[in-house]
Amino acid sequence: MGLVDLLITPYTLLAIPILYYVLPFLRNWSIRDVPGPLFAKFSSLWLLFQARQGIRYLSVDQAHKKYGKLVRIQPNHVSIADDAAITHIYGHGNGFLKADYYDAFVSIQRGLFNTRDRMEHSRKRKTVSHTFSTKSIGQFEQYMHHNLEEFEKQWDRLATQANGGYARLDALNWFNYLAFDIIGDLAFGAPFGMLEKGKDFAEVRASPDAPPTYAPAIEVLNRRGEVSGTLGCLPALKPYAKYLPDPFFRQGVEAVQNLAGIAVARVKDRLDNPEQSHRVDLLARLMEGKDANGNQLGREELTAEALTQLIAGSDTTSNTSCALLFHVLSNPHVIPKLQAELDKALPILGVPSFEQVKDLKYVDMVIKETMRIHSTSSLGLPRVVTGNGITLQNHFFPAGTVLSVPAYTIHHSEEIWGPDASDFKPERWEKGVLTERQKEAFIPFSYGPRACVGRNVAEMEMMLIVSTVFRNYEFELYQDKLETREGFLRKPMELLGLVRVSDDDAVLTGIQRLLDRISHLQSIVDSRTNDRLKPRLPTMAPKDQEKASLLSPTAYDDDAPDLESDQDPLSDEEDSPDRAREKREERGVFEDDYEDEELGSASQDPGVGLKRLFNPSKNDGKHTLTIKERRAQKRASRRHRERVKRGEEEAELVYDMEEGGQPSQSPSRNSSESDLRRLAAMRAEKSLKKKAGKRPYTRFLLRGSIVLFFLLLLFGAYKATKASQTWHAKVAAALTLSNGTSLFAPTTILISLDGFRADFLQRGLTPTLSRFIREGVSPLYMYPSFPSVTFPNHYTMVTGLYPESHGIVGNTFWDPEMQDDFYYTHPQKSMQPKWWGGEPLWVTAEKQGVRSAIHMWPGSEAHIGGVEPAHMDKYNGDEDLTSKVDRILGLIDLPGPDSPSSRANNPRPQLIAAYVPNVDADGHQYGPNSTEIRQTIRNVDDMLSGVFRGLQERNLTDIVNVVVVSDHGMATTSVERLIQLEDIIDVNLIDRMDGWPLYGLRPKNKDDLWDMYVTLKKNTEHNTNVEVYLTVKDMPKQYHFSKNDRIAPLWIVPQAGWAVVTKEEFDVEKGKKEGLVYHPRENTEIYNIVCDSLGLEPKPNNGTLRLPLKPIGLHTDDGAPEIDIPFDPPSDVLNSITSSNSSVSVDATSLASAFTSTPSVTSPTDAPFSIATAPSTLSSESSESPDATSDDEKKHSPKKWWSWIANTFEDAKAKLSQLFGPGSS
């Protein structure tokens, strides 16, 4: 057998995965005895899977509880849950390097966070470290103060406009807006404007010259963190991520690109506006920085560093603020102490200054306890062992091993924090209670030279946010648990509650509050003026003073004597040790930076470098030292001082959230020892790289096997998502489109024609709607949900959930838990949020930064989830159809976000949902075949014509998607089709009755339920027009109507065109004798489709259909499924009936028989409109199986034989297309 023959045998395919798993295990033989999950010893896929689920930190924590302090979580990665290992792995001077985990976070180019080279990191850190020094961050307070005032303004507005003074909101959203606006102000010279607009919204540019588009920055940041944190477990997978079948990876890659585009847009805006150059902010400092060749930073590197600060300074603060609010409100003993301290320190409401709050001890303890119990970075940050290896926990780890210390596990260790480690207890931070070990084990900002450079700014920001929020507002919490998900950071999902302005604020007049703020701002200005009057650069020549800025290295160096002192004369006695430790930590960082700088030159010319270190040139006294030389002398003199053990916190250190922080505990050493050790580490690192270079086969096998593995096992699934990927790519590419005069984001109009029967389309009354169907996309028919009445169906359409899931199980029903009735005709009761589960479209849209306008849609007035649509029109049954057209087009005509006349409180919506009740109302009053209903159908068609004409006049037919749906149809009933309830059951046994024209029964005595069921079954066994179901026994599965306590336990379900009535409603026997006329009274896919049309991420729901769709049939009798439904009376009979004649909606069987269409939307560039023409031919208010005619009956029916064959073939073809992609069948 030749080599080629061997390579193409099945044995090769078997050998590749074996080699992929076995080689890493053999290569890491030295850690084979470290316990851990079995799969983790052979593959990184175990850790990747945990990260994909957003639970990596929990899985690692559980593994430590099971296996001990050493756990192998990847073939070459050991997690060490030992606080003593922190200084060894992350501390100063150990030479450990960042692992390839950080390669997954590189987008534009490497920045301060993800650079792995020590020399490069040292250069980048010097560029920004001075900006975040204690001396410099005072300049940032003015920007924080401005955005906190806008935050306060918005919350005041919400609280004062709410009924009862309490406003329902998702606090996480507002903390996100605040954090993004603050970092936008600090880093780029202007806030994003999220607080003012009340939405997640940011400009994106693919390149500086590319046209602007817009994206939800917060959502983009979350997705980017999740996908990067997952791919970091297997960085070799990153180039192929967008090809994986899981949309999580594709959407994550898009998010990485969009987030980079946000930084590109902000940097471009700043560089194009040089008048902002006077600002003291991060971008100004970066623009002063130098690259490796001593030149100014290029645009790419500048953008990459700005992106690093954007990421680090937004999510971390908002996550911590949200977690803090939850834990404080969940622990009643905390908030009185917190507010008492704030009331005493801040007699005046408003945004305080940092000077007022920086020494508030209980506020500080609450913040620290939050960062302990909810570490935003909870995973163990991986480091590569260098040099001769290291021994930890009595185990030797050779060079090349990856080690990490899991922050979540350390912060929740009962060994360190006591048996109450999982409790939120700020008092543990009191002086005398907190132990030295606990101080050292507290690593929310990580530890060492790669720790968070923005710690000082973060602590100032948190103190100001907490003081502002708890001094000015009171809260009520609406959830018992804080759900979180981990990407790179651990992020809360939401925080729902009520907020209102504190009582004492009510006594302040607007003038008093304004005067207080003016006085406060004046005090800040005065203090800064005094600071500017102090001589900051006494040793500098006038020429140098002109060039120096407050943030320049020269200015910082002249403050260096402050860092040498262990005592701060401005601090009180209690705080001075902590601040002294902070200053010593700053010295340690700068010493490492300096030594890296010296080693860099030594590596280029070892002889010269060593000469300089051991034989420094002597100053003859005549030569004037340069600033650089004076700085070198100062640091060189400090290198010989003993490095004492560092305390709890570091001076330079929340934004990067990436690395490690406190200095090594090694004994003091002189300059030569330090240099030689570092040179040895560098040689070891080079040696590792050379060894790695000698093993190309390992990389080849690793990457090749991964590609082949996924191609072989996931090819079919990838093809299945190809159509979806194409659609989402189109939506992403069309974030904004122009109609020639204005930019429009993707916009969708959803119109519901209540009670519109599908066969109304065949009456020649709807030329507009018929043309709409031909030009758009419309499946053959649509199933309403059961029971097919207005409120359950309309709420199903906007949530994608069955009624049993969202809780609106009828137009009327009883809730046994709340002991209350729901009546759709009683808005004061039915529009309370407690009834409405799930998340409707407008809430999904608003949460993701897409503004919505809801016109009379059932449920829109209920304030669901604490989120209101941007525009909400209450139900008005007297509104004419012309007014609806004007309202819809008026919303389209509102100024867009790019317009100068745009207003935050009156935005142009991207989602418009309108409810049209006219057909249903007139159908009930006159009957579905009456002359009156024919005119109503014409009027509704004219209304749609007005909408379409208005879109054409505005050149929006290729931009705006339109979806037309209906909830049910109608069938005329008669006295002969009524079932008297009293004839089939003893109504004295019934406690409550739900629904109509079907009935749900609740017995007075639960023990009577079975007897009632048996009686009903017996009394209806000869009547084929009615079915009886016991909810828990034989309710048809296709109804999805059994798993909710609001659903009555016993149901009587009539056939289509029939109804169950009580004698109180209508006496059937009397009606027959006297000739009286009776007067009665799977759309889960719509939610996903509308979400897709707007580029929204839908919440989990019962729908499965996603865009894009394609036409699969026309609304004709030939395409309608067959079902036995009573025909409407002849038209001559109907015309003889008076205007009091009525109709009853037909049951769920007609859902199947309906040649209605599932609402659908095409790409904005594919078709002018997309169709979802309403309802079933006859839709329902009672219910039967959606497939009343069996396949066997259809097959043997002579008339339907060919239709059955054709339909069966089409079904098979559709399933093959879903599995393997278009064209595969």
Q: pLDDT tens for residues 223-253?
A: 999 999 999 999 989 999 988 988 899 889 9
Question: Cα–Cα distance between 836 and 864 in angstroms, integer?
Answer: 7
Which sequence positions are flagged as catalytic?
A: 790
**And the tokens for 99?**
């692992």
CB 821 within 8 A of CB 814: yes
Residue-by-residue DSSP string for 1174-1186? ---SS--SS---S
For residue 852, the cross-strand partners are 911
Same CATH fold, 974-1078 and 745-898+906-970+1085-1094? no
DSSP β-ladder status, 383-384 and 390-392: unpaired
CATH topology of domain 974-1078: Gyrase A; domain 2 (3.30.1360)
120-134, 1015-1029, 1166-1180: which has the highest mean pLDDT?
Answer: 1015-1029
**And the tokens for 1211?**
């079904």
CB 50 within 8 A of CB 59: yes
Position 698 confidence tier, pLDDT thresholds 50, 70, 90? low
Single out the residue of 80, 159, 156, 174 nearest to residue 846, CA to CA.
174
For residue 660, the cross-strand partners are 447
**And the tokens for 804?**
């049993």
Helix then strand count (H, E) for the chain reads: 46, 29
Average pLDDT (93-103) is: 86
Q: Where are the domains of the chain?
A: 1-29, 745-898+906-970+1085-1094, 974-1078
Average pLDDT (1144-1169) is: 29
Question: Cα–Cα distance between 808 and 315 in angstroms, integer?
Answer: 36
Position 726 confidence tier, pLDDT thresholds 50, 70, 90? very low
Single out the residue of 426, 420, 313 nearest to residue 363, CA to CA.
426
Distances (CA, A) of 971 to 145, 629, 941, 974, 1181: 64, 95, 21, 10, 10
Angle at 1020 between CA 1017 and CA 1023, to 5 degrees: 145
Question: Cα–Cα distance between 474 and 469 in angstroms, integer?
Answer: 8
The conformation of residue 1039, written as its DSSP 8-state character, comes to: G
Asked whether the whole model's pTM tops 0.75, one would answer no
User: Is residue 321 over pLDDT 70?
Assistant: yes
**And the tokens for 192?**
């994003």
**And the tokens for 897?**
């976000």
Q: How far is CA 1130 from the centre of its chain?
A: 56
Is residue 748 helix, strand or coil? strand
Position 175 confidence tier, pLDDT thresholds 50, 70, 90? very high
Position 1074 confidence tier, pLDDT thresholds 50, 70, 90? low
Residue type present at position 144:
M
Residues constituting the chain: 1225
Residue-by-residue DSSP string for 310-344? HHHHHHHHHHHHHHHHHHHHH-TTHHHHHHHHHHH
Distances (CA, A) of 130 to 293, 452, 453: 21, 13, 9
For residue 71, the cross-strand partners are 79
Angle at 805 between CA 802 and CA 808, to 5 degrees: 80
359-368, 705-714, 1083-1092: which has the highest mean pLDDT?
Answer: 359-368
Q: pLDDT tens for residues 264-299?
A: 988 888 888 776 666 777 777 777 766 667 777 778
3-state helix, strand, coil in the chain (%, to 5): 50, 10, 40
State phi, psi for 659 to the nearest 5 degrees: -130, -155
182-191, 339-348, 704-713: which has the highest mean pLDDT?
Answer: 339-348
In 225-325, the DSSP E strands lie at none
Single out the residue of 966, 1004, 997, 962 nearest to residue 981, CA to CA.
997
Distances (CA, A) of 734 to 629, 846, 1219: 56, 19, 28
Q: Which residues contact 429 (CB under 8 A, 6 or more apart)?
A: 364, 365, 368, 369
Instruction: Return the higher-pLDDT residue of 583 and 814.
Output: 814
* Per-residue pLDDT, 164: 66
In 809-899, the DSSP E strands lie at 812-815, 820-823, 852-855, 871-873
Residue type present at position 345:
A
Is 452 annotated to bind a ligand? Reply is: yes
Q: Which residues contact 72 (CB under 8 A, 6 or more apart)?
A: 31, 34, 35, 36, 37, 40, 41, 78, 79
984: left (phi over 0), alpha (psi -120 to 50) or beta: alpha
Domain 745-898+906-970+1085-1094 carries which CATH code?
3.40.720.10
Single out the residue of 156, 214, 130, 217 nearest to residue 181, CA to CA.
217
* Per-residue pLDDT, 351: 92
Question: Cα–Cα distance between 429 and 362 in angstroms, integer?
Answer: 9
User: Is residue 1166 over pLDDT 50?
Assistant: no
Single out the residue of 523, 475, 520, 470 nearest to residue 498, CA to CA.
475
Question: Cα–Cα distance between 1093 and 728 in angstroms, integer?
Answer: 9
Sign of CA dihedral 512, 517, 518, 520: positive
Average pLDDT (1007-1025) is: 88
Is residue 97 helix, strand or coil? strand
For residue 402, the cross-strand partners are 77, 384
Single out the residue of 177, 497, 507, 160 nearest to residue 349, CA to CA.
507
Residue type present at position 1071:
G
Instruction: Average the pLDDT over each of 254-268, 748-762, 780-794 and give the range with the smallest value.
Output: 780-794
How confident is the prediction for the chain on average, in pLDDT? Answer: 73
